[in-house]
Amino acid sequence: MASKFVYVHPLSDAVLSELKRLSPPWFDAKNVIMHEKEGTFGLPFRAPVNSVESSGLLQTVYDKESRNHFLVVHFGGLAGRVSLMDGSKSAWQANVGDDLARITGVVGDLVQRVDDATKGILPNDGQAAKPLPRPRPEPAFPFPDNVRPPEG
């Protein structure tokens, strides 16, 4: 029997791939719930046994108004979202490669924050690990951002 095709947006797919690569103790790929219409996912998770918090939710969402994809986390006192796209650039300037390259750092920061939260350390209490500086990804195209599109 053929399996049913499930649409996964490239940014959501990159988040899942990075989570699989990092394999934090609370990540279980079998718990991923795909939202086929938008290509996003939800991931309910349980923290390790000795954690301060017990369960949380990690998800990618698409905001139709801003036309932007976000990575969202809810885990005890840790709640927030981060854009998976650079919405400050026009379609001419935006490079999908740049957005995909950002995923590694974004997911790494999120995993570190969830790991800190399992120990009762939240970002605002001054004890959380500082995020590592992210190198600026190489542009996918040889055009600088200030080049105007051709007239015509």
In this prediction the pTM is: 0.73
Query: Residue with structure tokens 């950002």?
Result: 102
- Dump pLDDT digits (tens) for 87-121: 655 555 555 567 777 889 899 999 998 888 888 77
| Dist. CA 133–CA 152, nearest whole Å | 41
| Neighbouring-strand partners of residue 81 | 72
pLDDT value for 149 = 59
DSSP string, 34-59: EETTTTEEEEEEE--TT-SS-EEEEE
